Amino acid sequence: MSGLLRRGLLSARRHLFVVSGAFAAACGTSNPEAAGVRTPANAFATARERMVRTIRAYGCDDEAVLVVMNRVPRHEFVPEDVRAIAYQDSSLPIGHEQTISQPFIVAFMTAALQPRRGDKVLEIGTGSGYQAAVLAGLVDHVYTIEIVEPLAKRAETTLQRLDYRNVSVRAGDGYRGWPEAAPFDAIIVTAAPDHVPQPLVDQLKEGGRMILPVGDLMQQLVLIEKSEQGISKRSVLDVRFVPMTGEARRR
């Protein structure tokens, strides 16, 4: 088990879904942008640094992931009415009954994949595009699929505007993955099916890793590793994600 998974598990369970007091103090519980007051860029940078320090305190010790998360402008991936609180350690609504994941969970899942330069990664559940942007700073190329077409279009526009050139976005059902781009070094799923989709396992390279939430009301992050000996699975964290829709719900 990696340093993150070994040392961060207890802290993760304690702090999951908790809004950091440091962020509340820095950003306030009210939202000045909703009143037409723009947050200065340096305030976003300061809040982002606090976010990274909080993630580290919760148990994430993957320096490469932390460096990238200190660069990616999370506030650009959320609606304007919640932009001033973009760096709180909590999930936030992005419309269409979807959310952007809690920063600690983004860090935890990303680090669990052990991403490397040269890797090709598949993401199921683009959402805002933030997770794809984080991965884009660590790997060669990210392929990401979003079933809610307006979200896919908005994420693609945001990623292009911010010059993430190594991300390909597709609108559609991600249950069967992206066969023509397979196999993948890593796969991340950010919506919860009640079972592990076999097409995604099939598209994982030997030596690759996949992480996804599995379950209905009670969910667990499951880490899958593929080797010459076969497939290994282990649960690493209790979580709560929006359900995976489409074909996953019909099976």
CA neighbor of 224 nearest in space, from 191, 195, 181, 182? 195
Cβ neighbors of 193 (< 8 A, separation 6 or more) are: 175, 212, 214, 243, 244, 248, 249
Tokens 């320096």 -> residue: 63
What b/e readout covers 86-97, taking b as 16+ CB neighbours within 10 angstroms? bbbbbbbebeee
The catalytic residues are 101
Q: Both tokens of residue 244?
A: 């995976």
CB 88 within 8 A of CB 82: no
